[in-house]
Structure 1
Amino acid sequence: MEITFPFPFKPYDIQEKFMRELYFTLEQQKLGIFESPTGTGKSLSICCGVLKWLRDSNQKILEDLVKEVAQLKAELSNNTASEDWLTEEYEKIKKNQNLITLQLKLDKIKKQKEVFDQMKIRVSKQKTNASNKTIEFYFNKKDKSEKVEDDKENVLEGKEESEEDRDLILEELEDKEDGGSDTEEVTEDDREQMTKIYISSRTHSQLSQFIGEIKRTVFKEDTRVVTLASRQHYCINSEVTKLKNVNLINERCLDMQKSKSKSTAVGEEGKVLKKTKTRSCTACPYYNQTNITRLTERMLVDIMDMEDLVKCGKELKACPYYASRMAMEDAEMVLISHAGIVSSGARSGISLKLDNNILILDEAHGLTAALENAHSAPVTVKQLSSVKTFLQFYINKYRARLSSKNLLTLNQLSFVVGKLLGMIKPKDSTDKKQNETTIYTLEDFVIKAEIDHMNLRPLVEFCRNTRLAPKLHGFSMRYSQQALEEEMKKSMVSKKSSFEMFMSNISKKKGEKVEVEPEVKENVSVQANVPTETSAGSGLYAILDFLDMLCDRSENGRVLAQGDQNGMLKYLLLNPAEHFAEVVRQCRSVIVAGGTMEPIAEFQALLTSHTNDTGSVNVVRCEHVVPPDNVLGLCLSKGPTNVSLNFSYENRMSNELLSEVGRILRNICSIVPGGVVCFLPSYSYEHTVYEHLKTNKVIEAITKKKAIFREPKSAADVDQVLNKFASAVKNKDGEHNGALLLSVVGGKLSEGLNFSDDLGRCVIVVGMPYPNVKSPELQEKMNYLNKTAGGSAGNIYYENLCMKAVNQCIGRAVRHANDYACVLLVDERYSRPQTMSALPSFVQKSLISNCSFGTTISNIARFFARHKER
């Protein structure tokens, strides 16, 4: 079947292939691995291919419904007599029931279309100020505007009580043995559930690029698109965003929505038994249902990226976060970062419904790493120390005001935190843990930590349900370490313990006089290594995430305990596929796409771990749109002074090699026009190279030809450096012919950035960026792969980590069909056959290996001379 794909311009053959293969993969409900080199219009091909399929699929569903309804009506109107009247009547009843079901589906689809047509009219009127009236559309479950007004009243009411620290005290959790639920009753939805498209990418900036591509297509006028993001990205309330930490932002936001009304427990005689605490939090002015509804409608009509949505939210005084959540229900395409997909907690937190829907993961080369990072749950010695200290202060200060159940659980938590701290914090300078990193199985870890007898799941649930973390954060911010220490010193003789108070009350009732010895507390000294206040609340979130991982006693999990001055505990997920299997099972189709998807076997394992059926995976490889003559690949084995170029960890710091790097850069910068981007293995090595070149006046020599820029360590400074680099490349004069940018493999400039045309005429990769093979974490992963996959699976994994990083650097240049660039790989190891075969295919076609320096310079000079003539 020939399919015509609407495209903004005449597509390349590989774009046609990509869209066609994508269409048929979705139609057959299969899984897909799509490789299309960076710069080939992959994002646009995804948008046009998937939206074409969605339109055809929805149209077919509608046509089939209309056809089936008409057919059933015709059959029911045919009243031909039959001898077996009982069977005939039974069949008639079945057809009537089927007709009612199909007609209901058809009516829902038609009603949805009418609602969205009316929505467009309303939004158009609002934008032209013809009408400011907002009509609540059909799918609102219930109007929450009354709740917002009630909240405002209750906030004022809450001010009547001024008992000290009421907002910091834990409330008693109610037992729910009666099966009751705190969740709102959800009424039946009038929507007909149609297939959704979820598109996920690594960063929010990449998702914004998808928005730009959708706006270029013919589908922009009638496609409902929503970009999901966290409160940290969407919140426009400065009182919330100033908290910085995403967990604290979430808690404050939820706190601003909770009812502030007071509830009082009353006995049989009307006597007050217990009064619950009221919260002194001001309601959020942007949590206004009417305005949120207005913003939701605007979002569904006008395709917006994150910046557009935030700007519109400020204009309408409506929360972008909740508007995007509301709009998700009726969106046809939902954009979301990898972080929102790979974690089951993140998916459930935003009510992401993957069942029978389509998931497309772009930039999927880092999917395995994203899964591992989402489940790593690192917690540092600083966080453990801070939580331990402030938790003990909290218990001591509020002991008399906490229920016995809460007090018991807090003491259990303090015990667990102390045991975790003991696993990584050295007792003294002679303690072996001081510079030791150990890997444990989950079972061995809890035994070693002496918490194997603890039921951790209820403990974690208690902390989350009582919202202990934000309370502890508020406590640490309200009371400085010094004030708490002084208060404890003054209270050397504490108040009566809970047990003593209990005994005293019993004695009073009996009329007896009981002498109770006062409890003498230890003088708790915390003068040295005082934890920071801000790490107490956020630290508890990290601890709870780690305890969550310990609750999952997976055979594929390990715990890393690092006992140096930067000590930490970290969960190691050795088999990411086991967590991704749930996603694949739910979806109708899952597509992973990227510029370089090697090794294919890694992604096949991720997609088929629940079935082991690789036949259900459609593997599609697209060639680059750039002609082979437009790319020159060179593997440089010898330097200008004929030194062998081997930048292994043992060799890279030698002055001889560092000087060779300087000579190479100096020669390349003199003959390559425009921008040169040089990638080095690490930030520390980039610093070493730069300082060496500066000392030997190579930097001074290069700046006579090209301005030099360095990758900043702070993400906030990246745009400024890139703008200056681009300006220097653009503003060439007689003496200067562009700029040199020193970057880092795996850094902020190695992924997702576009060095097209003059910005990236030459990409240099110095050395092979292998990770530290002596890392306990890496060794454990390699050993696991060798045991489970057999052979040399661990070594293959190690090689792939390196080559994935190299290929990402190469992909920054040659971004369209008329672009051209040189790729220079500076290390003799690049000339190994297995290494060359792992490079992108468009580089392999023109790759020259084992080059001497003279040959390399000659080839580069001829390459640019040829393109200059064109």
Structure 2
Amino acid sequence: MNSEVQKLLQEVEGKPKVIDKSSTLNQCSTKIYFASRTHSQLNQFTDQLRLTSFPSSFEGIEEKIKYLPMSSRKQLCIHEKVSKIKDTQELNDACLQLQKDKEEGCPFYPNPSSEHDTELMNNFRDLSFSDIHDIEDLHDIGKHYNICPYYSSRKSVDIAEIISLPYQLLLQKSTREVLGLSLKDSIVIIDEAHNLLDTISDLNSSSISFKDMLKARNALKSYMKKFSSKMNGGNRINISLLYKLITYLAKYMKKQTDAKKNKPGTEISAIDIFEGTTGDLLNIHSLEKYLSKSKIAFKLESYMEKLETDEQATNINNKQSFKNKKPSSTPVLFKIKSFLYCLSNPSKSGKLFFDKSSDGDTVMTYLLLDPSEAFKDIVEQSKCVILAGGTMEPVSDFTNLLFPYLSSEKINHFNCGHIIPDSNLNVYPIRSFNGCEFEFTFDKRNGTNLINNLGQSLIKILMSVPFGVVVFFPSYKYLDQVVDCWKKAGLLPQIEKLKKVFTESKTDSAESVLQNYSSLIETERKGAVLFSVVGGKMSEGINFSNDLARAVIMVGLPFPNVFSGDLIAKRKYIETTTLENGECGSCYS
């Protein structure tokens, strides 16, 4: 383009847009996507990638791997206030709300039409590709340039050769489209793939309790009464329809509960829910779309919190006693939005059924039972999909449930031997101690005598094993129960005299616990014991090498609850599918 044309364009359009030719010139046609379950597992992949060395595309010129670790706003947000929000959904919504705020806005949000912001994004991209960086590095680079790393990293997608990301960003089509991730002709590697079936099911499943329904209905009623005159016609109509839908669902749940027809696993028909009403005429997809685009969920939650605060202040003034109520970890309308979204799935892909919450409340659950449809576009778009994991037998579960439409010729199996020789590992089943049988079935594991004998046997083991010992429990609830019992019996102080105790928390981050545990052993050369949970944050993706785990103790087995609605629904689905495929169903009878 000659100078006259550039000058003319500048006079007509103002400042010329910054054209970044490098983005087009360096596009990578075949990308490698590496997905794993947790943040720590992705960081481990980054560490291993730093150890690799590949030949350059150009002779005599060193070429670095263009690696991009992608993550959520929760990991990458650098806004002081927004980044402190613990709930992921609330943080996402607060971020989007801040961008629309004309007065304050987000000072770090990159404006693609701004020459200054474009330059900052280019600097962010160039520095992120200067070496193999992890997610924390991208966060720091964003802070250095005062530019949002979550949005700026999208500019690097086209150029990146290897992209690592958590399951959620890969498995949800809507998220891939937002981030600009194209799977066409790519290589997709899914690490810890034994979690894949459950993850797809969880991402496409949802539940809502009767109490949540009542809370949402009452809040909507109060909100409409307060702000109806200030709403436009569209908002009034949509909120009224949403209120009507929630009312129908709540009335149905109460009716079935009163009639004692809410047994866990009992299937629910949408026709029955709206029988005798006009609910079947409601456009659920339209309401779900309204909840997604509008900020009513965030506004309603803020309004509800204000009402609770005013009520507490009134109670104080009237000298009435009350207990402080913690706000819900997930706003109730977010739960309803997720539930409505799941209901839009094909009926054969999942089931709607009753279940019970931990406090005995009636719960309506939608469970995705056929993950193949949700995974199909990934298989069809990619050049190759690799499922990697250490505990994936029987492999037939994955082939039958994830891609039943593929012929066996298109599926390859590769199995490696164990990484260590058999002589390096000894297994000792401990059946009893002091005459007490260790039977950790669901109905027998709560006995005080059994738990105390477990503690005494652990003390004996810790006296003999140096440095680190990791103990796995079946659940967080049982771990808390055991620790409380040991405190009362005076066993926990005896354990702490031998080794410092670290306990995995269901709510808190695992990184700090693991760092302190590792530092005590590797740096201070002292002994420590780590209480963890099977399927929790410490159970996979963490390398407890050498002195970090000179012994691993498994307390019982994490038996599933055979009376849970999820398990009953899955069992019925497997039975039906097996019989429909002409296979023998006698094993389920």
For the aligned pair, the TM-score class normalised by the smaller chain equals 0.7 to 0.9
Distance 1:706 1:249 in 2: 39
**Whole-angstrom distance in 2 between the partners of 1:413 and 1:762:** 55
Partner of 1:282: 105
CA contact (8 A) 2:371 2:402 kept: no
Match of 2:372 in 1: 577
Partner of 1:195: 30
SS in 2 for 1:296: helix
Which residue of the partner structure matches residue 782 of structure 1? 571
Q: Which amino acid aligns with 1:470?
A: F
Give 1:355-394 correspondences, 5 Å limit: 355-394=184-223
Cα deviation, 1:524-569, whole Å, max 9, x if unaligned, reads: xxx9999989659932222112111112232131124346645443
For 1:210-609, list aligned pairs within 5 A: 210-219=45-54, 221-257=63-99, 280-287=103-110, 288-424=117-253, 431=258, 436-437=263-264, 439-441=266-268, 443-444=270-271, 446-447=273-274, 451-473=279-301, 475-476=303-304, 482=310, 538-562=331-355, 565=359, 566-609=361-404
The one-letter code sitting in structure 2 at the alignment partner of 1:377 is: S
Check if 1:621 corresponds to 2:448: no
Once the two structures are superposed, what CA deviation does each residue of 1:185-240 show, in whole Å capped at 9, x if it has no partner?
A: xxxx7776611111101112211222222222124942211111122221212243
Alpha-carbon deviations, 1:729-755, whole Å to 9, x = none? 86568xxxx333333222332222222
Q: Give SS of 1:629's match.
A: helix
- Rounded Cα–Cα distance in structure 2 between residues aligned with 1:249 and 1:682: 28
Using a 3 Å threshold, how does the CA distance of structure 1 residues 349 and 559 change in structure 2: closer, same or farther?
Answer: farther
Pair 1:417–1:139, CA change in 2 (3 A): farther
For residue 41 of structure 1, what is the aligned residue in structure 2? none
Any idea what SS the aligned residue of 2:428 has? strand
2:532 corresponds to 1:739: no
* 2:169 and 2:175 in contact (8 A); partners too: yes
2-structure distance, mates of 1:390, 1:531 = 19
> Is 2:504–2:513's contact at 8 Å kept on the other side of the alignment?
no
Report the AA paired with residue 238 of structure 1.
E
Whole-angstrom distance in 2 between the partners of 1:792 and 1:667: 49
SS at match of 1:677: strand
CA contact (8 A) 1:726 1:759 kept: no
Identity of aligned residues (%): 30
Letter of the structure 2 residue corresponding to residue 762 of structure 1: A
Q: Secondary structure at the match of 1:301?
A: coil
For residues 562 and 529 of structure 1, do their structure 2 counterparts lie closer, same or farther at Cα, with a shift above 3 Å needed? Answer: farther
Deviations 1:103-132 (A, max 9, x none): xxxxxxxxxxxxxxxxxxxxxxxxxxxxxx
State whether residues 510 and 537 of structure 2, in contact with CA within 8 Å, keep that contact through their aligned partners in structure 1: no
Give the drift of 1:705: 3.8
Distance in 1 separating the partners of 2:356 and 2:339: 17
Shift of 1:351: 2.7
Q: Please identify, of 195-204 and 751-760, the stretch whose mean Cα deviation from structure 2 is larger.
A: 751-760
Q: CA deviation at 1:333?
A: 1.0
Give, in whole Å, the separation in 1 of the partners of 2:528 and 2:568.
40
Give the Cα–Cα distance (whole angstroms) in 2 for the partners of residues 460 and 254 of structure 1.
18
Aligned equivalents of 1:377 and 1:616: distance in 2? 33
Q: Work out whether residues 474 and 558 of structure 2, in 8 Å CA contact, stay in contact via their aligned partners in 1.
A: yes
TM-score with structure 1 setting the length? 0.57
1:304 deviation in Å?
1.7
Check 1:400–1:296 CA distance in 2 against 1; reply closer, same or farther (3 A cut). same
Cα distance in 1 for partners of 2:564, 2:299 equals 38
Secondary structure of the residue that 1:461 maps to in structure 2? helix
Distance 1:480 1:641 in 2: 54
Larger Rg: 1 or 2?
Answer: 1
- RMSD over equivalenced CA pairs, Å: 3.7
CA distance in 1, matches of 2:228, 2:497: 71
User: Structure 1 residue 412: deviation in Å?
Assistant: 0.7
Q: Is the 8 A contact 2:208 2:336 kept in 1?
A: yes
Counterparts of 2:70 and 2:462, CA distance in 1: 43
Whole-Å separation in 2 of the counterparts to 1:702 and 1:214: 39
1:763 aligned residue? 552
Determine helix, strand or coil for the equivalent of 1:572: strand
1:656-681 per-residue CA deviation (whole Å, 9 max, x = no partner) reads 53354234323322322332222222
Structure 1 residues 643 and 793: alpha-carbon distance in aligned structure 2, compared to 1, 3 A threshold:
farther
CA gap 1:215/1:193 in 2 versus in 1, 3 angstroms:
closer
Give, in whole Å, the separation in 1 of the partners of 2:446 and 2:79.
50
Q: For 1:37-92, what per-residue CA distance to the aligned partner results, in whole angstroms no more than 9, with x for missing partners?
A: xxxxxxxxxxxxxxxxxxxxxxxxxxxxxxxxxxxxxxxxxxxxxxxxxxxxxxxx
User: What is the letter of the counterpart of residue 332 of structure 2?
Assistant: G
If the length of structure 2 is used for normalisation, what is the TM-score? 0.82
| Offset from partner CA, 1:229-271 (integer Å, 9 cap, x none) | 122221212243345443444344344545x8xxxxxxxxxxx
CA, structure 1 residues 236+572, in 2 after alignment: closer, same or farther (shift >3 Å)?
A: same
Give the SS at the match of 2:266.
Answer: strand
Question: Matched residue of 1:346: which SS?
Answer: helix
- Deviation digits for residues 130-183 of structure 1, max 9, x if unmatched? xxxx9852167xxxxxxxxxxxxxxxxxxxxxxxxxxxxxxxxxxxxxxxxxxx
Is the CA contact (8 Å cut-off) linking 1:383 and 1:539 kept in structure 2? yes
Contact 2:78/2:143, CA 8 A, preserved across alignment: yes
CA pair 481-453 structure 1, distance change in 2 beyond 3 A? farther
2:475 maps to 1:682: yes
Give per-residue Cα distances to partners, 1:278-323, cap 9 Å, x unaligned.
x555353442333223212222333221111111111111110111
Give the number of aligned pairs.
548
2:459 to 666, 670, 683: 666
User: Partner of 1:633: helix, strand, or coil?
Assistant: coil
Equivalent-residue separation in structure 1 for 2:519 and 2:86 (angstroms): 32
Equivalents in 2 of 1:461, 1:597: separation in Å? 37
Q: CA deviation at 1:765?
A: 1.1
Contact 1:442 1:559 in 2 (8 A): yes
Query: What is residue 845 of structure 1 aligned with on the other side?
Result: none
- Specify whether residues 550 and 246 from structure 1 end up closer, same or farther in structure 2 by C-alpha distance, changes over 3 A only: same
Partner of 2:6: none
Structure 2: 5+ residue stretches without partners? 1-16, 55-61, 111-116, 315-319
